[in-house]
Structures are given as C-alpha cells and as structure tokens.
Amino acid sequence: MSRHPSNQQLQAWLENGAPTRVGKHVDGCERCMALLEELSDLGDSLVAELTDALAAPTDVEDRTARQVENRLRNEAAFTAFLDLFTVGWSATRTILDIEEDSDE
C-alpha cells in the first residue's frame, strides 16, 4: 500500500486486524502510527477507572516486606537443615575413610 490508508481503514484495522495490507503499511509509517495512537486513545476517565480497578492495597509495601522476610527466613532454615545432613555425611565419610586406612 503506497498511499496512506484512510481513517476508516485504520479504524477497521484496529477493530479486526484487516485488511492486512494496512498493518504492513503502518508498521513503517510514523504518520499512520500517530493516527492509530489517537484513534485508540482510551481517554482520561477510562484510564482513571483502569487505575482504580487495578489499585494496589494501601499496605502492599509493608505486607510484601513481611512476606519476603518470612520466605527468606524459611529458605535459610531449610538450607541450614540440609547443611546438617551434609556435615553429618562428610563426618561419616571421614570416619569411614580413617577406619579403612587403619584396617590397611
């Protein structure tokens, strides 16, 4: 498509992605891209509604800090627990190695 598509064509493309030649044209056309941006603008009130709909709880920071702290503490405790076995196994192997050496 060498000529710019009409606003109607751009609107139709926004709605259903057709005709595909419009999509190919706008991909490299700053003018049409700017028009698409304008045509699809949500408007201030819808953006404000959107912001409300996805609002974070007022205590999200404190709650996240607590949850992260708990999770890290649990992970650390689990690692320490695994270390107990690792240390125990290393000690056992050392003892066994010593016994094998003394048998020889």
**Distances in Å between the alpha carbon of 18 and those of 1, 34, 62, 67, 104?**
13, 18, 48, 47, 84
Of 54 and 85, which CB lies nearer to another protein in the complex structure? 54
Task: Catalog residues that contact another protein under the rule CB under 8 A.
Answer: 14-15, 17, 23, 26-28, 33, 36-37, 39-42, 46-47, 49-57, 60-61, 63-65, 67-69, 71-73, 75-76, 79-80
- Quick one: DSSP state of residue 46? H
- Round to whole Å and give the CA distance between 74 and 12: 54
Of 28 and 101, which CB lies nearer to another protein in the complex structure? 28
Of 9 and 36, which CB lies nearer to another protein in the complex structure? 36
